[in-house]
Chains A and B, each alone.
Chain A
Amino acid sequence: DAGVTQSPTHLIKTRGQQVTLRCSPKSGHDTVSWYQQALGQGPQFIFQYYEEEERQRGNFPDRFSGHQFPNYSSELNVNALLLGDSALYLCASSRVAGFTGELFFGEGSRLTVL
């Protein structure tokens, strides 16, 4: 049973560019949430998708957007990249919308903005 998979694992972009990160949830899970983790910091919640709609959102600007597909996979898009967007981006899936179910995390996508 495949767990949560994320791609790409590493990528390098320059300021002003746009990036798309992808996440496939664990089999049987329909809820996907995204997190940003800067080096040496704890993760910060970006948003959560359920039934193809953004259900909750953290304190992130509109440059951060997402999408969930009918097969429950999800994308995180970041426009107009800033140096401060350099971080590990984590995806987690669960059976339950919200955060009252166990979360299963992917290995993350490490983004470096130059």
Chain B
Amino acid sequence: KNEVEQSPQNLTAQEGEFITINCSYSVGISALHWLQQHPGGGIVSLFMLSSGKKKHGRLIATINIQEKHSSLHITASHPRDSAVYICAAHGGATNKLIFGTGTLLAVQP
């Protein structure tokens, strides 16, 4: 079992839909990152959070430390949101960054 699990692995949505991507981790963490990767490779950091909730535009990230779970929400999804979304947990004890396998999102017009 991976230390960081994401679900779903693949997600297809219609433009305008509300999207949720989940991330569960088994290690104690000091921070959790949500990243976006477009075809071709470049990665963009969306959020870094250690508690509570953060919002940026149409994106919202939440984390529940007790349940070891984080979610990334996209409101009013758009085809340009199509990408791979990756969560990565900073294991405080190991001081390493452990990545999930990613969620491939396709938003259709």
Using a CB–CB cutoff of 8 Å, the interface residues on chain A facing chain B are 33, 35, 37, 41-45, 55-56, 58, 88, 90, 92, 98-108, 110
Contact = CB atoms under 8 A, between A and B. Distances in A.
Contact of B48 (A33, A45, A102, A106): A102
| B interface, size bucket | 20 to 34
Interface of B: 30-31, 33, 35, 40-45, 48, 50, 86, 88, 90, 95-102
A44 B99 contact: yes
Nearest to A106: B42
B48 A100 contact: yes
Given A43-B86, A98-B95, A105 B44 contact: yes
21 contacts: A35-B99, A37-B41, A41-B101, A42-B86, A42-B100, A42-B101, A43-B99, A44-B99, A45-B97, A56-B96, A58-B96, A90-B41, A90-B43, A92-B43, A98-B30, A98-B95, A99-B31, A100-B31, A102-B45, A103-B45, A105-B43
A110 B42 CA distance: 11
A90 B50 CA distance: 24
A90 B48 CA distance: 18
Nearest to B84: A42
Contacts, number: 62
Query: Can you list the 9 inter-chain pairs with the closest CB atoms, starting with the nearest?
Result: A99-B90, A105-B43, A42-B99, A108-B41, A42-B101, A107-B42, A100-B31, A45-B97, A99-B97
Please classify the interface of chain B as helix (H, G, I), strand (E, B), loop, or mixed, using the class held by over half of its residues. strand
Given A98-B90, A99-B90, A104 B99 contact: no
Contacts of B90: 98-100
